[in-house]
């Protein structure tokens, strides 16, 4: 295998490797580091002995990601306030025209699912991502992780039950999502408490992630009243040079807020039965800095 062929093979598989690493980590920079480490392993490997390059690359990436997970978990113990995944810009509509496949990819990378995955063990997370997001057979996952197939099935079952118990169950038409997001954003910007309350589910919650580096609630807000009053209060205080841009992150429509042209936050909502059930606000500057050019 020539060097050029090896590079082409790696680049061909880079989106898959990045998809695996990000879904397990919820952090773009850490996922990129893992993929770079996988490239270094690949560049030094005796490639004449690698029969299936794709399987080799996924195995290396998965194991490196498990190691990285154990490192970041210790780091996250000191995280200030609620934790949300780093926003990951997606555009599945361009690369995956099939509705069913797009829905599967979008669900597997959604903020709600990635938050639930944080509570799984590294091995459970690896099995869940490989099985549920990418459709790997149990036998192949077992080979990738050097585990017995029966053990992998147990891990997969435990992880799936946990995720199913915690993640919201809903399907939202993209046009409905955009309409509700636009109306909710308008009400929030205007500080229209009545308008916000009409769009919020009674048990709505707001999750703000600042990492202690920007203003955001240090605890999850519960109930439509608390969420609505918080957002109306933010509007009253105002943000200089505020503007907005609609983008797709983590498989769904989101709003990038900018202050004087610089990223200030990412805003996304979960929707069920025509009401906003969860408001996600990511303001940690380390997590939104990369969105400046989007």
pLDDT digits (tens, 9 = 90+) for 177-232: 999 999 999 999 999 999 999 999 999 999 999 999 998 999 999 999 999 999 99
Inter-residue contact 245 to 267 (CB < 8 Å)? no
- Enter the pTM of the model: 0.85
Higher pLDDT, 250 or 229: 229
**Where are the domains positioned within the chain?**
3-87+119-166, 174-293
- Token digits for 268? 């996304």
The whole-number pLDDT of residue 165 equals: 84
pLDDT surpassing 80 at residue 167:
no
The whole-number pLDDT of residue 105 equals: 52
Judged by average pLDDT, the poorest of 27-36, 77-86, 105-114 is: 105-114
pLDDT surpassing 90 at residue 252:
no
Inter-residue contact 21 to 34 (CB < 8 Å)? yes
For the domain 174-293, what is the CATH code? 3.10.450.50
The whole-number pLDDT of residue 244 equals: 92
Round to whole Å and give the CA distance between 191 and 149: 55
Round to whole Å and give the CA distance between 117 and 61: 18
The whole-number pLDDT of residue 2 equals: 66
The whole-number pLDDT of residue 276 equals: 95
Q: State residue 267 phi and psi, 5-degree precision.
A: -125, 130
Helix axes 53-76, 3-25, angle to 10 degrees: 40
CATH of 3-87+119-166, one of 1.25.40, 3.10.129, 1.10.3470, 1.20.140: 1.20.140
Q: Tell me how far CA of residue 74 lies from CA of 68, 78, 122, in angstroms.
A: 10, 8, 13
Overall size of the chain counted in residues: 294
């Amino acid at each position: 295998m020539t060097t050029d062929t090896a590079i082409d093979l790696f680049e061909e598989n880079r989106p898959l490797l990045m998809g695996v690493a990000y879904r397990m980590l919820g952090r773009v920079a850490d996922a990129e580091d893992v993929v770079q480490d996988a490239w270094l392993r690949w560049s030094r490997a005796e490639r004449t002995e690698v029969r299936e390059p794709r399987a080799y690359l996924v195995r290396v990436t998965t194991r490196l990601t498990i190691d990285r997970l154990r490192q970041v978990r210790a780091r996250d113990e000191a995280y200030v306030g609620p934790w949300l995944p780093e926003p990951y810009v997606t555009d599945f509509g361009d690369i995956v025209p099939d509705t069913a496949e797009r829905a599967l990819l979008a669900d597997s990378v959604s903020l709600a699912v990635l938050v639930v995955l944080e509570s799984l063990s590294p091995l459970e997370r690896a099995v869940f991502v490989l099985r549920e997001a990418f459709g790997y057979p149990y036998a192949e996952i077992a080979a990738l992780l050097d585990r017995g197939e029966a053990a992998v099935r147990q891990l997969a079952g435990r992880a799936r039950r946990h995720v199913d118990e915690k993640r919201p169950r809903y399907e939202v038409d993209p046009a409905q999502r955009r309409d509700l997001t636009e109306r909710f954003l308008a009400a929030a910007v205007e500080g229209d408490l009545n308008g916000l309350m009409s769009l919020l589910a009674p048990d709505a919650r707001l999750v703000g992630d600042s990492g202690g580096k920007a203003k955001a609630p240090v605890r999850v807000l519960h109930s439509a009243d608390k969420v609505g009053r918080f957002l109306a209060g933010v509007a009253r205080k105002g943000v200089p040079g505020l503007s907005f841009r609609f983008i797709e992150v983590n498989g769904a429509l989101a709003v990038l807020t900018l202050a004087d042209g610089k990223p200030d936050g990412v805003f996304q909502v979960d929707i069920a039965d025509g009401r906003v059930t969860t408001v996600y606000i990511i303001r940690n500057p380390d997590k939104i800095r990369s969105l400046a050019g989007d």
